[in-house]
């Protein structure tokens, strides 16, 4: 037995000496181990620092897609939450789900994508010793192996894409692991078997690994001559094929390997959920025939990405690595090791430039092999340092990363650590979870899908969130969930220009929903230097219909008002001031919301503290005493209406008697007759001078129609007619000397002698402006139109073109519409004060519901839905203790949702929207 030669002694010499090491001082295993630990530390800092914030997890749909598919596997539902269409093999997201299971769940590190990014960091750290070993086994030395890893860890291009939850990163780890095992010089057959198995897993992570397969087979053939003879290639290929075979076997067992009727579809309709079902072969055929433009077309996807993304991010790696591939290929004429390295770098570049579809993150496939080629190309130079130049070698090793860090930190690397573009997505998730009903039906981008579907992160789960891609392609979603009708959509989570993707993907349902929706809220963050930076902007759009959220906002607002202002029956602001208008508004709200206890409490306080000897309310009360004893006709009118509707709603004759008495007092003290025409003035104080004072915002024709029924002796019809005339004339008259914008003024006077409207002098105030009083006129006239269908109301509202133009006015950047009205305008329409006010929003909403409903939907979505805040006491807007703001937030919502029912004529009527 001792005389039998080892089998390898009978073979010829290997073509490539893969197991050789450069005979330098750097070859000591102990030194390599210490160096690898240092490189891992560098990679940990470079890749891990700020990785949850940059790049934004809203940048690519892919991260969200793999997070949602991993969730589906983790929870045992299926390979995907929707129809599995074989676009990629499932092993990649199965591994992500395994990581989530081991690490404690989806939200252990923050969002679900944050959890995936932690796995990407671990994979990167695992690739560092693999790349180090590959460089050493392919003829490099420790210094060049360290340089390869420094570029691999510090390249801005590598950091940017390696942080992302992408199948490419999973695939690369197993490719490098397979290559490292294949290059192992120990000569064990088990290493080849494991290498083939790992490459099979790489293919099942992402099929693009097949483009490096030729180089791997050539290396396996080289190993055959050195160690295992003719068994080597088979020992590598057979485990690979066995591993990959599980994928078509799965499809075969499900009856989805072949297309129905063996009719192949290169357009991808079956892949996209067509009526013929899904098919693995159809999916592979579609993936293989997708075009990104020919190689020699300089406007194709590859060259565009080279110019706009890859070169700007890392010129050194792209140009230096490509040149190193060329150098190694030329060296390969005499050096088979260099040839193999060159081929490992060439095949990924050929894949990228082949003319097929190319996305920006596909560069991941080339990055480690470009680093490998750089290391091997520089090895001959580094070897010149030699054993006697040990100090110089270590200085070079230290100097290279310092110089690279200085260069990159000055430019491409800085945003990776200094910017937080992911804030927009996190803020969007938080706001949606805190403010939207959990049963909302939402069409979403994939990046937010998993976190919205899961409880946590500050709110409940949203089981009716669906990916816009699946709305376009999955019959079970667009047909069964949404019944192929945009009216069944409540909200859409958008990014700028996403509607173009809807059109490209023939996503008619999402496109129609978007076309009938308006922006609620936009979240944006520092755009930095990210490509596709538009995706760092997250938008929530509300479909134009009344839904559960609108009713929820109305109820929450009412609760907030009750909890914070009306516990004693006195509706006081933060300064303790109680106005007659606040009391009347509270009683109207109480009767409309069927809150009799609050109504009674407020009415008792009002009777005890504000009602004067004429039966009217004093204007203001504070600190136990009346500050202003004169009346406010708008408040008196609202109080009388509240009493009369409450009498009908709760069948209380006492309240009706009180309402009738108040109506009589209003006529006796607040109505003046000029030229035989009755006018309801601004209050009992406004009837005594030569110039009668009017407040257009007090004009409430819907109430006067009811007064006419209980007080037929007086000409309330004339009050309505003359009031409308004052509105029309005051809005069109050039009161301030310039051209009128068509807005009613806060105040206006009527000269008793001439019967003409004149500007009203009140202290030093410009009464001609459209400020905090006049917008109520539009709200009140809109309510009159909904109750009476008076065409004078419709005509007046249709003349609010100025407000429509303001809401739709483009800002200076020419991109964003104003989407709101300012708080105060001069009579000529020039802006006096920004930003908006809730009473201004109420007026604009009332006017635009008739004139331009889409504009009304826009301002309601952005100012009411988007402007809301919530706490344990309910829903509020702006300053929490601003009673006026909270009151008009409620009245705006109530008008929009059709909740302001004429309870005098329909005491138990159901609400119906005025904007339909």
In this structure, of 244-258, 290-304, 479-493, 852-866, the range with the lowest mean pLDDT score is 290-304
Q: What is the mean pLDDT of residues 377-402?
A: 64
Q: Average per-residue pLDDT in the chain?
A: 87
CA–CA gap between residue 464 and residue 81 (Å, rounded): 12
Does residue 534 or residue 523 have the better pLDDT? 523
What pLDDT shows up at residue 391?
A: 55
With a cut of 70, say whether residue 409 has pLDDT above it.
no
CA–CA gap between residue 72 and residue 81 (Å, rounded): 5
What pLDDT shows up at residue 208?
A: 92
* DSSP notation for 697-758: GG--HHHHHHHHHH-TTS-HHHHHHHHHHHHHHHHHS-TTSS---SPPPS-EEEETTT--EE
Give residue-wise pLDDT tens across range 238-278: 999 999 999 999 989 988 888 875 554 544 444 444 445 78
Give residue-wise pLDDT tens across range 805-834: 999 887 554 445 678 899 999 999 999 999
- The β-bridge relationship of strands 625-628 and 671-674 is unpaired
Contacts 24+ apart (CB under 8 A), 274-280: 275/475, 278/83, 278/84, 278/85, 278/86, 279/86, 279/251, 280/86, 280/247, 280/248, 280/251, 280/256
- pTM of the shown model: 0.87
Give residue-wise pLDDT tens across range 354-373: 888 899 999 999 999 999 99
Sheet containing 757-758: order of strands: 691-694, 748-751, 757-758
Q: What is the mean pLDDT of residues 541-564?
A: 94
Which pLDDT band holds residue 23 (cuts at 50, 70, 90)? very low
Does residue 179 or residue 275 have the better pLDDT? 179
CA–CA gap between residue 445 and residue 644 (Å, rounded): 50
What pLDDT shows up at residue 532?
A: 43
What pLDDT shows up at residue 499?
A: 87
Q: What is the mean pLDDT of residues 582-609?
A: 97
Question: Are the C-beta atoms of 621 and 609 separated by less than 8 Å?
Answer: yes
CA–CA gap between residue 683 and residue 671 (Å, rounded): 8
């Amino acid at each position: 037995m001792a005389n039998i030669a080892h089998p390898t002694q009978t073979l010829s010499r290997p073509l490539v000496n893969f197991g050789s090491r450069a005979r330098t001082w750097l070859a000591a295993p102990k030194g390599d181990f210490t160096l690898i630990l240092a490189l891992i530390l560098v990679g940990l800092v470079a890749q891990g620092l700020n990785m949850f914030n940059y790049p934004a997890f809203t940048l690519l749909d892919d991260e969200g897609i793999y997070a949602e598919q991993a969730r589906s596997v983790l929870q045992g539902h299926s390979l995907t939450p929707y129809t599995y269409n074989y676009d990629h093999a499932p092993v990649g997201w199965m591994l992500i789900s395994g990581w989530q299971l081991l690490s404690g769940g989806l939200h252990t590190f923050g969002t679900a994508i944050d959890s995936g990014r932690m796995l990407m960091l671990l994979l990167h750290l695992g690739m560092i010793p693999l790349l180090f070993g590959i460089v050493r086994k392919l003829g490099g030395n420790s210094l060049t192996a360290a340089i390869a890893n420094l570029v691999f860890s510090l390249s801005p291009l590598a950091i940017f894409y390696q942080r992302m939850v992408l199948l490419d990163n999973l695939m690369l780890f197993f490719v490098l692991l397979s290559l490292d095992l294949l290059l192992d010089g120990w000569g064990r057959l088990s290493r080849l078997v494991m290498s083939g198995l790992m490459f099979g897993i790489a293919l099942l992570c992402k099929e693009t690994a097949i483009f490096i397969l030729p180089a791997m087979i050539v290396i396996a053939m080289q190993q055959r001559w050195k160690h295992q003879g003719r068994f080597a290639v088979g020992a590598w290929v057979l485990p690979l094929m066995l591993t990959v075979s599980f994928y078509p076997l799965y499809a075969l067992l499900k009856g989805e390997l072949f297309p129905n009727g063996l009719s192949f579809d290169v357009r991808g309709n079956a892949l996209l959920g067509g009526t013929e079902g899904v098919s693995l072969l159809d999916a592979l055929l579609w993936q293989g025939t997708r075009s990104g433009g020919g190689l020699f077309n300089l406007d194709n996807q590859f060259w565009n990405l080279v110019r706009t993304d890859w070169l700007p991010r890392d010129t050194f790696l792209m140009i230096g690595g490509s040149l190193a591939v060329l150098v190694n290929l030329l060296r390969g004429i005499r050096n088979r090791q260099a040839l193999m390295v060159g081929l490992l770098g060439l095949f990924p570049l050929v894949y990228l430039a082949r003319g097929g579809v190319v996305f920006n993150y596909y560069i991941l496939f080339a990055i480690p092999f470009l680093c490998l080629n750089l290391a091997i190309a520089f090895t001959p130079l580094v070897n010149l340092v030699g054993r006697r130049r040990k100090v110089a070698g270590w200085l070079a090793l230290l100097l290279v990363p310092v110089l690279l860090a200085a260069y990159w930190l000055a430019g491409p690397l800085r945003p990776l650590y200094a910017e937080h573009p992911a804030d927009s997505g996190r803020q969007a998730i938080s706001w949606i979870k805190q403010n939207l009903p959990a049963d909302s039906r939402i069409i979403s981008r994939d990046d937010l899908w998993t976190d919205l579907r899961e409880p946590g992160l500050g709110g409940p789960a949203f089981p009716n969130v669906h990916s816009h891609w699946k709305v376009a392609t999955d019959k079970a979603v667009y047909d069964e969930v949404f019944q192929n009708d945009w009216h069944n959509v409540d909200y859409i989570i958008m990014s700028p220009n996403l509607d173009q993707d809807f059109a490209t993907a023939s996503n008619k349902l999402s496109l129609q929903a978007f076309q009938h929706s308006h922006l609620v809220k936009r979240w944006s963050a520092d755009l930095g230097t990210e490509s596709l930076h538009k995706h760092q902007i997250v938008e929530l759009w509300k479909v134009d219909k009344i839904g559960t959220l609108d009713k929820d906002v109305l109820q929450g607002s009412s609760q907030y008002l009750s909890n914070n202002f009306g516990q004693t029956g006195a509706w006081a602001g933060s300064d303790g001031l109680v106005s007659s208008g606040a009391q009347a508004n509270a009683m109207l709200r109480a009767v409309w919301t069927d809150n009799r206890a609050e109504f009674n409490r407020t009415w008792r306080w009002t009777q005890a503290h504000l009602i004067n000897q004429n039966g009217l309310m004093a204007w203001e009360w504070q600190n136990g005493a009346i500050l202003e004893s004169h009346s406010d006709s708008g408040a008196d009118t609202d109080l009388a209406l509240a009493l009369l509707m409450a009498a009908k709603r709760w069948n209380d004759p006492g309240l009706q008697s009180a309402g009738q008495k108040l109506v009589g007092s209003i006529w006796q003290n607040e109505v003046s007759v000029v030229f035989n025409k009755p006018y309801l003035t601004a209050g009992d104080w406004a009837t005594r001078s030569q110039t009668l004072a009017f407040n257009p915002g007090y004009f409430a024709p819907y109430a006067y129609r009811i007064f006419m029924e209980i007080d037929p002796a007086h000409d309330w019809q004339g009050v309505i007619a003359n009031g409308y005339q004052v509105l029309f004339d005051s809005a069109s008259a050039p009161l301030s000397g310039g051209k009128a914008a068509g807005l009613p003024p806060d105040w206006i006077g009527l000269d008793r002698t001439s019967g003409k409207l004149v500007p009203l002098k009140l202290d030093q105030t410009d009464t001609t402006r459209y400020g905090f009083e006049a917008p109520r006129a539009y709200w009140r006239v809109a309510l009159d139109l909904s109750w009476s269908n008076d065409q004078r109301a419709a005509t007046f509202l249709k003349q609010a073109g100025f407000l429509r133009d303001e809401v739709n006015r483009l800002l200076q950047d020419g991109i964003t519409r104003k989407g709101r009205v300012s708080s105060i305008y001069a009579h000529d329409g020039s802006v006096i004060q920004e930003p908006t006010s809730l009473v201004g929003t109420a007026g604009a909403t009332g006017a635009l519901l008739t004139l331009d409903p889409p504009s009304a939907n826009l301002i309601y979505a952005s100012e009411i839905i988007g402007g809301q805040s919530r706490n344990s006491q309910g829903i509020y807007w702006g300053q929490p203790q601003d009673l006026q703001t909270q009151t008009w937030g409620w009245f705006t919502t109530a008008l929009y949702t059709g909740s302001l029912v004429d309870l005098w004529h329909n005491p138990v009527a159901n609400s119906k929207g005025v904007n339909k």
